[in-house]
């Protein structure tokens, strides 16, 4: 099998259809679990089009959210959606955060760590910019154990011999890998949590448009008409519809949090 294209985040409208609803469902559970107080300073690393940043703002009354992403296209949508003065949106790299050390009460990555070229470096950067006693937290889809919302698509592409683009570092989605990394970085009071979510599509076409046509990997552009028709047939057979035609898909994420030593 040829190597698949790396996933690029260059179409924020497609991301909004494809992943943002999932991000909001899991992000809500993540925020419930973090249970942050009001008035904190946050860094939201890999903020994307602002799906999770908006939730921090709506739910956690932050003093400041420094939201940073490597994709100008994603940030452009975040800028359109978010005008609150507490939120500062910047372009930048999770592996070299442009902030002084010990600056934030809370550093978070929502659905990002498995995309960072070196997850250890990305997590170490979050620790560096967090104040002593502050929290460092992350979640990603449980991609190795079939928890990604795209796992049906990945499985069927694999079955057809068509390389599916996956995040480059899915191994870091394992609880064991996360716990080892948070321990190695000296974080205390480490806890993990599985976040289980579901999304209901109005019918198969809604699923196809949201989860196949809109994927950032641009899958359909790489398929012949016959392959695309076969993929559609296989997914339709795999995803049973309710009596009213709706399709419900489940996903799960692995989350971790820990405190920087005071």
Ligand X SMILES: C[S@@+](CC[C@H](N)C(=O)[O-])C[C@H]1O[C@@H](n2cnc3c(N)ncnc32)[C@H](O)[C@@H]1O
Binding site for ligand X (CB under 6 A): 9, 19-20, 23, 27, 46-48, 51-52, 69-71, 74, 93-95, 110-112, 115-116
Q: Which is nearer to ligand X, 115 or 182 (CB)?
A: 115
> Rounded to the nearest whole angstrom, what is the least distance from the CB of residue 40 to ligand X in the complex?
18
Using DSSP's 3-state secondary structure scheme, residue 164 falls into: coil
Q: Which is nearer to ligand X, 94 or 235 (CB)?
A: 94
Q: Do the Cβ atoms of 135 and 34 come closer than 8 Å?
A: yes
> Rounded to the nearest whole angstrom, what is the least distance from the CB of residue 78 to ligand X in the complex?
9
Cα(156)–Cα(164) distance, integer angstroms: 9
Q: Which is nearer to ligand X, 44 or 237 (CB)?
A: 44
> Rounded to the nearest whole angstrom, what is the least distance from the CB of residue 95 to ligand X in the complex?
5
Paired with 87 in beta bridges are: 65
Q: Do the Cβ atoms of 117 and 93 come closer than 8 Å?
A: no
Strands 188-201 and 247-259: antiparallel
Place of tokens 């600056």: 103
Q: Do the Cβ atoms of 211 and 18 come closer than 8 Å?
A: yes
Please list the helix, strand and coil fractions of the chain in percent, rounded to the nearest 5, in that order: 40, 25, 35
> Rounded to the nearest whole angstrom, what is the least distance from the CB of residue 243 to ligand X in the complex?
32
Q: Which is nearer to ligand X, 161 or 166 (CB)?
A: 166
Residues 6+ apart with CB under 8 A from 244: none
Cα(255)–Cα(175) distance, integer angstroms: 8
> Rounded to the nearest whole angstrom, what is the least distance from the CB of residue 42 to ligand X in the complex?
12
> Rounded to the nearest whole angstrom, what is the least distance from the CB of residue 69 to ligand X in the complex?
5
Q: Which is nearer to ligand X, 15 or 208 (CB)?
A: 15
Q: Which is nearer to ligand X, 47 or 172 (CB)?
A: 47
> Rounded to the nearest whole angstrom, what is the least distance from the CB of residue 226 to ligand X in the complex?
31
Cα(66)–Cα(55) distance, integer angstroms: 14
Q: Which is nearer to ligand X, 20 or 187 (CB)?
A: 20
The closest residue (CB) to ligand X is 48
Sheet containing 247-259: give its strands across: 87-91, 64-69, 41-45, 104-110, 130-141, 247-259, 188-201
């Amino acid at each position: 099998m040829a190597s698949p294209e790396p996933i690029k985040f260059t179409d924020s409208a497609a991301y909004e259809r494809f992943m943002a609803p999932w991000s909001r469902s899991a992000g809500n559970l993540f925020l419930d679990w973090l249970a942050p107080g009001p008035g904190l300073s946050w860094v939201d690393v890999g903020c994307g089009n602002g799906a999770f940043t908006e939730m921090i703002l709506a739910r956690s009354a932050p003093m400041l959210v420094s939201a940073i992403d490597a994709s100008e296209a994603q940030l452009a949508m975040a800028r359109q959606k978010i005008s609150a003065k507490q939120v500062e949106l910047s372009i930048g790299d999770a592996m070299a955060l442009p902030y002084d050390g010990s600056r934030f009460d809370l550093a978070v990555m929502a659905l990002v760590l498995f995309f960072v070229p070196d997850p250890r470096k990305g997590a170490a950067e979050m620790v560096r910019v967090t104040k002593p006693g502050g929290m460092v937290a992350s979640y990603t889809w449980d991609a190795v154990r079939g928890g990604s919302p795209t796992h049906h698509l990945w499985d069927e592409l694999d079955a057809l011999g068509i390389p599916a683009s996956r995040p480059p570092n899915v191994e870091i989605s394992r609880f064991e890998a996360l716990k080892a990394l948070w321990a190695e970085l000296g974080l205390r009071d480490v806890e993990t949590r599985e976040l289980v979510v579901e999304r209901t599509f109005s019918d198969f076409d809604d699923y196809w448009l949201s989860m196949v046509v809109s994927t950032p990997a641009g899958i359909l552009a790489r398929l012949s008409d016959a392959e695309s028709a076969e993929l559609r047939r296989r997914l339709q057979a795999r995803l049973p519809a309710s009596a009213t035609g709706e399709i419900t898909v489940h996903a799960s994420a692995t989350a971790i949090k820990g405190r920087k030593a005071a």
